Amino acid sequence: MTKRYVLLLLALLAWDSAALADCVPRGRLVVFGPETFTRTTKGPNAFARTVVLPAGVSAVDLSAYLTVGNQSLSSGAITLNGVEVFGPSDFNQTVVRLRKPVVLLQENSLAVEFQSKPGSSWTIDIEGVILEALVPPELRQRAGDTTFFSRRFVGQEPQTFESFDFSLPATQGRFDLAMANGEGAARVTTARVLLNGVEVMRPNDFNANVAALSVPVVVSDQNTLEVQVKSGAATEFTLSLKAFVPDAQPPELVVQSPASGACTRADTVARITWSDIITGVPQEEFRARIGTQDVTALFAITDGEATVRLGDLEPTLPQSRTARADFQVCDRAANIQTAFVEFIYDSILPDVVIVEPVDGLITSDVTPDVRVSWSDLTSGIAQPTGQVFVGDVDVTSQFTVTLEGALLTPNLTVPFEVGA
Among the listed residues 344, 155, 385, the one whose alpha carbon sits nearest the alpha carbon of residue 260: 344
Contact 207, 94 (CB under 8 A): yes
Alpha-carbon span 414 to 374, nearest angstrom: 20
| Cα-based angle 35, 64, 102 (whole degrees, multiple of 5) | 85
CB 247 within 8 A of CB 144: yes
Tell me the Cα Rg of the chain.
36
Farthest-apart Cα atoms in the chain, separation: 129
pLDDT at 230: 82
84: CB partners within 8 A, 6+ apart = 77, 78
Q: Domain residue spans in the chain?
A: 10-15+249-345, 27-130, 137-246, 351-408
Answer whether 371's CB lies under 8 Å from 290's CB: no
> Element (H or E) spanning 70, and its range?
strand 62-71
Domains 27-130 and 137-246 in one fold: yes
Beta bridge partners of 376: none
The torsion angles phi and psi of 29, rounded to 5 degrees, stand at -140, 130
Choosing among 2.60.120.260, 3.40.50.2300, 2.40.30.10, 3.30.700.30, the CATH entry for 137-246 is: 2.60.120.260
Sheet holding 371-375, edge to edge: 351-356, 371-375, 405-408, 399-401
Closest by CA position to 243, among listed 334, 140, 174 = 174
pLDDT reported for residue 401: 66
Q: Please give the class, per CATH, of domain 27-130.
A: mainly beta
> Residue 190: which residues within 8 A CB-CB, separation 6 or more?
203, 206, 207, 229, 230, 231
DSSP bridge partners of 97: 69
Q: Which CATH superfamily, name and number, covers 10-15+249-345?
A: Immunoglobulins (2.60.40.10)
pLDDT of residue 338: 93
Nearest CA among 286, 277, 291 for reference residue 305: 286
CA distance 279 to 178: 17
Position 53, amino acid: L
Whole-number pLDDT of residue 414: 46
Q: How long, in residues, is the chain?
A: 420
Query: DSSP letters of 180-204?
Result: EEPPGGGB--SEEEEETTEEEE-GG
Angle (nearest 5°) at CA 305 between 304 and 308: 165
Average confidence (pLDDT) per 10 residues, the chain, 420 residues:
34 25 46 84 77 78 77 79 84 73 87 78 81 49 72 82 86 82 88 88 83 84 90 86 80 91 81 89 91 92 93 80 86 87 79 77 73 67 64 76 54 38
Amino acid at 278: I
**C-alpha distances out from residue 66 to 54, 73, 85, 86, Å:** 17, 17, 8, 10
